[in-house]
Structure 1
């Protein structure tokens, strides 16, 4: 009993203390690497024509995707699990409005919330493989959202490499 109480208290403290440092880490990481976006052209064309879209990318790309799309009217679908709460709080630090839900917990409710966001003018961001995996195997949720919203699914990816920096007197 005491052990689980301490564990819950520790999780609460983590949820309060970690989002700020994690947001700084994400920002620093993004600025310290060269990021190449694969598949961004269709997104740009849709945005230029005033069209909405569903951006789909693998779960492993989430960290860089969040910072890459700061300032966009975009909602990310985030798990209702404990780690999803941490991700949500970090996203909110960047001014984002994530939507909570998952295939096992509140999937229908999350889908309705996403459709409401579409009507409010948001674009959607999905990780079709989700946190539970299998990695890089798409599940049906993103297709269901596209069918119900009428929005196109635009697959996108990011690739990151270390920036080449040269400061006099240091090794590169």
Structure 2
């Protein structure tokens, strides 16, 4: 039986699920404190925190392990958009140990309510972290949800990623990166992007593709800095785009 199946069986009860989240949080702390980090563009990140603007922070789903260390929640709150299924709850509960809030919703369930909550939180000053290829992929293919949310909330979009020298890549749809302790890694932040108005679906698709390419290039750069070949994206989205 695969380890992932054993783990899923172990966390079916709520108590076991909470314990698993606590253990994962402690592992993430161990990775961070025992590793040497370099930071690219963190002056940009700090400006995002301090300038009072509203932001969506985008990172690919396979890089969410170190979400809590990409932001400074003591200076400005952050919340993640997480799916309502068990894996999404694993993410949200784990991040709660780092004072990162969660908004539950996905393209399948709770999308309208989650969008309203995200927009409200952004307008209240909370940065929202979204994995634009989650929760089911395709890998490193951006859906148009972040663009819609940014327009509704009058928010800017910014991008972040990380990579490490030593890692385990899971055989999941996103090729999830598990960083190892006693490591060397890099965090990268990008300038913010204003979301312009668009009058046609073609305009929106061109913007979506531009943002997708930028986040992928940023992540590929981080991997190359750590001596890795970039992880290839999944199959392209349908020509007519995908729902948020």
Q: What range describes the TM-score normalised by the shorter chain of this pair?
A: 0.7 to 0.9
Greater shift after overlay, 73-82 or 46-55? 46-55
- Confirm whether residue 109 of structure 1 aligns to residue 118 of structure 2: no
Closer, same or farther in 2 for the Cα pair 1:124/1:146, shift >3 Å? same
Greater shift after overlay, 146-155 or 43-52? 43-52
Cross-structure match for 1:154:
158
What aligned pairs does 1:1-150 form with structure 2 within 5 A after superposition? 10-37=12-39, 40-69=42-71, 71=73, 72-150=76-154
- The aligned length equals 158
Cα separation, 2, equivalents of 1:139 and 1:84: 18
- C-alpha displacement of 1:102: 0.6
Are the equivalent residues in 2 in contact too, given 1:75–1:122 (CA < 8 A)?
Answer: yes
Are the equivalent residues in 2 in contact too, given 1:39–1:155 (CA < 8 A)?
Answer: no
User: Which structure has the higher relative contact order (CA within 8 Å, separation 6+)?
Assistant: 1
Q: Secondary structure at the match of 1:77?
A: strand
TM-score normalized with structure 2 length = 0.59
* 1:5-32 per-position Cα deviation (integer Å, ceiling 9, x unaligned): xx69843232132121111011111223
- C-alpha displacement of 1:69: 2.4
Cα separation, 2, equivalents of 1:32 and 1:126: 27
Cα separation, 2, equivalents of 1:21 and 1:39: 30
Cross-structure match for 1:167:
none
Q: Secondary structure at the match of 1:154?
A: strand
* 1:132-160 per-position Cα deviation (integer Å, ceiling 9, x unaligned): 01110001111111111111111221122
Cα separation, 2, equivalents of 1:50 and 1:129: 27
Gaps of 5+ in 1: 1-6, 165-172
- C-alpha displacement of 1:38: 5.0
More helix by share: 1
Cα RMSD (Å): 2.3
Are the equivalent residues in 2 in contact too, given 1:75–1:97 (CA < 8 A)?
Answer: yes
Divergent runs of 4+, >4 A: 36-41
